[in-house]
Structure 1
Amino acid sequence: MNWNNKISKVAVIAYTKMTAQFYASQLKKLFKENISLEVYSVEDSNLTSIVCDLIIASTYSIYEIVKTYVSNYDDIVIADITLTKDSLEKLRQIPTGTNAMLVNTTLEMAVETIALIYNSGITHINMFPVYPTISTIPPYDLAITPGEASLAPPSVNNIIDIGNRVLSMRTIIDIAVRLNLDDMLKNEEFQSCFGLLAQSDVGLERLWEQVSVLEKKLDLIMQIFDGGILLLNYGGNISFINKSAEKMLSIDKKLIIGAKLKDVLSEFYDSLVASLEIAQKDKIITFNSRLLSLSFYPLFDGAEALGTIILIREFTDMEKEQHKIRKQIIAKGHIAKYSFNDIAGKSKQMEMLKETAKKMALSDSSILICGESGTGKELFAQSIHNSSNRRNEPFIAINCASIPENLLESELFGYSEGAFTGAKKGGKLGYFEQAHKGTLFLDEISEMDLHLQSRLLRVLQEKEVIRIGGDSVINIDVRIISATNRNLKALIKQGKFRQDLYYRLNVLSINIPPLRQRKDDIPLLIEQLKERFHSTFKITKEAMELIKNCMWEGNVRELGNFVERLTCLDVDEVDIDIVRQFIDENEYFKPTLKDEENKLFLSLINQKHTNLKNYYSILKLLEINKKSGVKLGRRSISELLQKEGLIISPQEVRTILKNLESLNMVNILLGRSGTEITEFGIKACELLGEKYNSI
């Protein structure tokens, strides 16, 4: 967490744009919203005057170039590059004395990689640099490469890809300290990252120096923190108490340090919970005739329990009022009713999606849920809330399309007394205030007008609201989950949705597949719907196959209507003839295009007829891999098509993907994240496969 609430501006500079983007993505994954990144590369010649809080130069030679574009050399960090443990393990398996090529983009990069491998302790292989412009290729059958397998000579039969070189632990720590973000180094993401890196010279003296600084900062924070802090070791003995806690508990530190909490403060201990190994937030207790709000968190080093930290605050009148309001909100029904157990679906896609959503629930980051109408976006939103640490707080859902624009603003932000004609006496709480400590679900976020989008962006950035007609700033703690059935990137291009808001909402994302992409879930959904309607009818095998092969453009909502119709028939068995009474096969078995989609599809047919086979093949490959959750880059697409006998170079693939993106059939993701096919792209692929099956 960035205690200064300042987003640091960081520039990453390398010889190639791809390398700079890779290092930038590594930093973004670690530092998240605390930094904004700019990417520069020598090959793009886009170096200009650089004004940033910190500049990361990929090599010393890059540092020499960058110096001419900055005013302060101290703002430049020369990156130390390392390999992952998995990469080194691959190399250790190679027999001693083996001759191998080291394939990279340039001679300099190849030599650097060889030096890096040798410095990591791998010295039993004889490696020779190979790069695209080399005149004589060594006669070896093994190629080792850091993510550049496509550059290996055709004569090589054995390629070992050790993956991209990554920023070392020393470099990451250096960046965190320079940006005053060293408090983040104990986060799970950093610890996980450090665990994957190969052990190299990380500057232990400097590392211990930083640990010492962190300990001094922590001690200072605990002493000046306005609330009380109590630290227990694993055995339940008190190891630290600050002055505020002494005052609140009416106890002298000298009398309790080293003693067990339950022995010296038995009444306080009994007011907690049966186990201090379970985290809990804002528990209200009465102690010495005072209302106290307690939050306690177990401390772990990996799987080893270290103790517990207890935060103590006075429960003020304002907090009493907020507590009362939250109770009223829950009484009004602003709660999440559903959990992941209520989401029917045993397909691989849904199982993976639910597991991903469960992990996202543990975070407080904003989530964007995408999916067609009727796929269950609110069901996922409620399940995420009920699996989060906010499960005991309000869950408020609001449909941005169902409330008029002028009313939506007052509903979200509230208003003060006299703000406008007809305003209630005393004003009104907005949904943000009502959802304090809980979750606010904004459905159909794409329908929110630009003015409200600006206000929402400010709330997400500042974590505070001002009521309409008011002048008081109200701090809020709300997790935002938003949902849409539209392509927000397309709306950004049309100027109908703010790009900065999109990236604030889309910190984490879930894409719920439509029913036609998970047909095996349909029988399970039907059984669940039958229970809702108290139905007992059975469906024949032939009828079920017909139902499974329908398009179900309304998804689960449309399927529910269908089961309700069957229930009204009051029959024991539903056969294929009965199903056909309610299904227009001509309508259901072919993808239907909207007017705008039809224009784009015809544009593809008319303009790309000479190499339509290439377009179809790429769309089909993306569709197949989407079902397994894999996103492909242009090199991977080129290699996979080549195995099928279709020769399309990575450059040609890139051009085709750009054209498909302009037609809204694919989304090209940032960096090396690959490309994903859109729902419209899937429809277009199906129509191409039917109409041009001979291409």
Structure 2
Amino acid sequence: MNQYKEMGYNEGILLTAEGKLMKKKVCIVTYDRDAALFYAKILSKLFGDVIDIDTMWVGEKQSFQKIGHDLYVVTTCSFGGDVIAKSKLSNQKDTVIIERTIAKKSLEKLKSVPCGTKALVVNITPRMSIETIAHLTDLGINQIKFIPYDPEDDYLPNYDIVITPGETRYTNNLSREIIDIGDRVLSINTIVEIAIKLDLENYLETEAFREYFQSLPRTNYSIDHLFNKSISLESNFSILLEILEMGIIGVDENNNIYAYNQKAKSITNLDSNNIIGKNANDCLREIPFEECRLEMKEINNKLIRINNFDIALSIRPVIRMGKYMGAFAILQKFIEEENKQLKMRAQLSNKGHYAKYTFDDILGESIIIEKTKKMAKKMATSNASIVITGESGTGKELFANAIHNESLRRENPFVAINCGAIPDNLLESELFGYDDGAFTGAKKGGKLGLFEFAHKGTLFLDEVEAMSPMLQIKLLRVLQEKEVMRLGGDKLISIDVRIIAATNEKISDLVEKGKFRKDLYYRLCTLPIELPPLRDRGEDIFLLINKAMKDFGGCFKLSNEVVDIFKGHKWEGNIRELRNYVEYFCYIGDELIKLEDLPVSFKGTIGLEERPIKVNVACEIDQLKRVAGKRLDHYIFVLNEVNKVYKRNISIGRKAISEESKLRGIDLSEQEVRTILTKLESINLISISKGRGGTKILEDGIRLLDKL
């Protein structure tokens, strides 16, 4: 016996538990020594150093016995005439009977031989010469008349050329042209069978194997085509495995691992070289492949623990004709899955669910507001529910935004909804979402509720006291169980949401009157905050006036009289009322705001008689430009038309203005005229009456046209 070794390709090698190389032992058994060494060289080039190759040649009289190899690769000639021995051996799992073929380039030589040429075929034995002839005929070389040659026969038939598969040593006494087609190589079927029996199928993808396959002639187009397609699919499968963002582990019918991507490696912390080919029941006991194999059913959304991480697991069995063919496990770290869902929710909402303001946006230097801000910042660090109470306009939503941005949930959604502004049945579907077909008019595919959108973030419930008793019960359950069920659905969805509620009423009074559930009140009111009204904030009033003036682009000063009045004003609308007055002052355009410049509504609250308000035409022109935008000419045209009929003491409607515009080449539709008239009325340039009254221009509109 001769030992043959040669270094080669080594990716995907098997290792022992100690990390040492586990080599497969292969014994090549041939009739002739040179053939054994030739086949050993082929296998070494293809499979590299993952196999140890021994060679054995038996000759005519030697017997063949197995001596403890993993695989025996045997030529048919090794059996001599023992057909029974050949039959028994070929059916054994540790044996491959060699099929040989001829290289493609050698076959091309024979195709060029003229038709009718007589060729003497020379091989080691007459029987091997006959096998060579049969093989050449199968490969389509039919134009040559083949004659088998027996070196021991003295009779030499008439011939034109000599053909030999690398056995030129037997052609020395032959004088004609010799065509050496080279040693017959191992067929593709033989190589594939060797790889399968050694559990080295992954080597069929290597470049060395592809080159070898390309060097062989095509004996069966269908088989070759299917094999090429199989290799292509397997290559694409490998690429797909690596680009997926989840771990994939594939097992065969015996749960032996054959597919294992990089993401799976990062989750399990096991190297592919240590796991490919091993049984998953032994090395990945956390994954219930055996349960999947026995029950032949999918395992969905199972939470397991690997390396101290929570892993979301699903297993998909591969069933063909009622038989288990293997399975794929899909793994993802639970935190990664949750983060991905958060991003998807944010994309689905597309509503800008984020907090816009921080505590820096809450202006004020008074002791009471500083104390309130300090308390709110402390509460922000907690996950407990917060109830913000305060009069209308005190900035409850501003505080809710700031609390979210100060909390650990700042990177996640801030979802706000006004419970008093939405009908009760619609509010329920907005909060909890619904499944497909939950009710008439439900969106196809269902809809996520705001609780789901706010997962890991904050849900702000403004005017929470407006909730119906039925919705109060559902809200209480969500706070207690931290899970919701969509309308029309049957699945509970876990959520992690921090609730901030706001109200401008005393909820304790509503509880006493039976209008608000006591249990919900105590569940919500873990951390209460009461916002001070503007009248209690002293000089903060003038800080807020300056901020609002900058927001509206105005520039004015308050007279001493107005300052004194503002200090004593009740500010029942709080900051919202203050901003309305500032916007009004910006529009009248005076640099100094005096008592007579105060709006009528304000004068009524302080007992001043109504005085005529000065109108600044320049300010009204600015208003018109702001409203009209790029269509200022159209607005002036409409205002002129209304003014013309006013002078004639008649009224005019949309249709008449539209027809006149077409005559002037402006071409305004009735709808466009209607829009312009509405906006002109909003800035007090015209009045619109129903019926015969029609549209009339006001004094401000006349003065504006005179100025223009």
- The reply to whether TM is greater than 0.5 is no
Bigger radius of gyration among the two? 2
